[in-house]
Amino acid sequence: MSCLDIIVVSRAGRQALVFWHALVMGDTDTVCALLDDPQCPALMPGTIFDISDTEGWMSVRYNLRRLRLWSLTYEQELTTPIHITAARGYTDCLKHLLMRGSDVDMAPGGKTALHEACENATTECARLLLAFGASANAVTEDGLMPLHLCTTPESLQCAKLLLQFGATVNGRSLEEDDTPLHVAARYGLPGHMDLYLRYGAAIERQNDEGQTPLNCACSQPQSVNELERYYQVCQLLVGAGANIHACDQDRQSPLHMACKNANPEAVELLLQRGASVNSMSYSGDAPMHNILKGVAYKLEHQPERIVRSLLNHGSIRVWPGALPKVLKYCCTSPRTIEALLNAYDRLKITDSWVEAVPLDVFEKHSSFYESLFSLMHSPRSLQHLVRCRLRTLLEGRLHLVVSQLGLPTFVQNYLLLAFTDALH
């Protein structure tokens, strides 16, 4: 006989199932009717449901009495009516439960209902729970406060409510030692970031990995659609005075990580604020190494813009003997190759260069690679040689000086390695 068979035969089990479904559907009338039904003495606003069963069944615990079979490997996952309704945004149902005496800070599964509301961005439920006295600084069994669970753009209003009701803006999580500012940075939430900064969030606090919020923002993998959000987060932090040279435990600076995750705008921001373009991490990588390693996987992020920015700010170049290897791994981004090769006044192109470019890539970008391989037996153009000479003379100051030389715009762009999709 299964656990389900044992439970269903009892009237209490049937009532519990109806109660559960009413809560899940936000059926306030049914919930109230069951709580008022004298034939359902076991059902209470504080009923604890065990939802650990992977088959979707739950048992109900009435005080100390249990209605399920146990095994040595069983792990509990407990919830209550107010947790269910708060997570799903059923404000009316939640209000009835609270008015009937539900413990607002009850946390049988390790979280309070307020944690659930913030995690699911159900703002009105969060407002109601706080109005009924829920603690804005309640801590889960994992050491997280409600602010730590505001991880989506939709949760901004929940974060505002929490701070208005006394949430600690610099509260630290137990396991990772994160502040809400770390969390907002990691999830790319500029609205939350601006809010926390206005409430006095500490911008240089380090977590267990030695990361400041700026490190967190730059270290998080980002899709193309998220690049702007993370750039805005970096902009807010830098504008508030965040240390752009702060490194994590691996000596990775924000610039290292912004290059690794290929965020062109964030890289340019950090470079303009004076980030060290040639600092080395413990693994011996400079920012240029980080972007070149990811070019093939970040084509939509426009990695060529990052390579160009680094070169214009005085980055170390690739050892000429390694250029065929770089060509092999970065050939799907011709503009990245263009920016790199335009930093040299001469190139020793051999058959190994031709072999490094797969035929399908060559055919897709034939115009560019024909211009590259045509240099195998000819020198670079005089115009390019003049550019290289000027860049050498202005090494490390190029981005500051070019705009002050009074040169025509197209000449300035040429000196700064504007893309032409060809080599000459």
Show me where the domains of the chain are located: 1-168, 317-424
CA 30 vs CA 35, 109, 356: distances in Å: 9, 25, 70
Count of CB atoms situated within 10 Å of the CB of 413: 14
In this predicted structure, the answer to whether residue 24 has a pLDDT above a threshold of 60 is: yes
CA 381 vs CA 273, 323, 387, 392, 405: distances in Å: 34, 20, 10, 17, 23
- The pLDDT, as a whole number, for residue 46 is 64
In this predicted structure, the answer to whether residue 343 has a pLDDT above a threshold of 90 is: yes
Q: Please give the structure tokens belonging to residue 235.
A: 């902009």
- The pLDDT, as a whole number, for residue 38 is 60
* Average pLDDT, integer, range 85-90: 93
In this predicted structure, the answer to whether residue 121 has a pLDDT above a threshold of 70 is: yes
pLDDT tens per residue across span 162-186: 999 999 999 999 989 999 999 999 9
* Close Cβ partners of 237 (under 8 Å, ≥ 6 residues apart): 185, 193, 203, 213, 214, 217
Count of CB atoms situated within 10 Å of the CB of 309: 25
How far is residue 11's CA from residue 16's CA, in Å, rounded to a whole number? 9
Sign of CA dihedral 400, 406, 410, 414: negative
Least confident of 24-28, 335-339, 402-406, 408-412: 24-28
Task: Return the closest-CA partner of residue 143 out of 184, 185, 192, 110.
Answer: 110
115, burial (CB in 10 Å: exposed 0-12, middle 13-18, buried 19+): buried
Tokens 């902009």, residue located: 235
Q: Coil, helix or strand for 44?
A: coil
In this predicted structure, the answer to whether residue 54 has a pLDDT above a threshold of 80 is: no
Give the CA count within 13 Å in the CB-facing half-sphere of 203: 21
- The CATH number of domain 1-168, selected from 1.25.40.20, 3.40.630.30, 1.10.760.10, 3.40.50.10950: 1.25.40.20
Least confident of 40-44, 71-75, 83-87: 71-75
Q: How confident is the model at residue 31 (pLDDT cuts 50, 70, 90)?
A: low
Q: Please give the structure tokens belonging to residue 54.
A: 């992977």
Count of CB atoms situated within 10 Å of the CB of 153: 14
Least confident of 180-194, 233-247, 405-419: 405-419
Percent of the chain surpassing pLDDT 90: 73
Tokens 């990245």, residue located: 336
Q: What is the pTM of this model?
A: 0.86
* Average pLDDT, integer, range 349-369: 96
What is the dihedral angle through the alpha carbons of 194, 200, 201, 205, rounded to the nearest 10 degrees? 140
- The pLDDT, as a whole number, for residue 69 is 38
Judge contact between 226 and 188, C-beta under 8 A.
yes
- The pLDDT, as a whole number, for residue 5 is 36
- The pLDDT, as a whole number, for residue 349 is 93
CA 400 vs CA 85, 270, 272, 387: distances in Å: 58, 15, 10, 16
* Average pLDDT, integer, range 122-126: 97
Q: Please give the structure tokens belonging to residue 136.
A: 């804005």
Q: How confident is the model at residue 329 (pLDDT cuts 50, 70, 90)?
A: very high
Q: Please give the structure tokens belonging to residue 9.
A: 């035969």
Count of CB atoms situated within 10 Å of the CB of 96: 19
* Average pLDDT, integer, range 218-243: 97
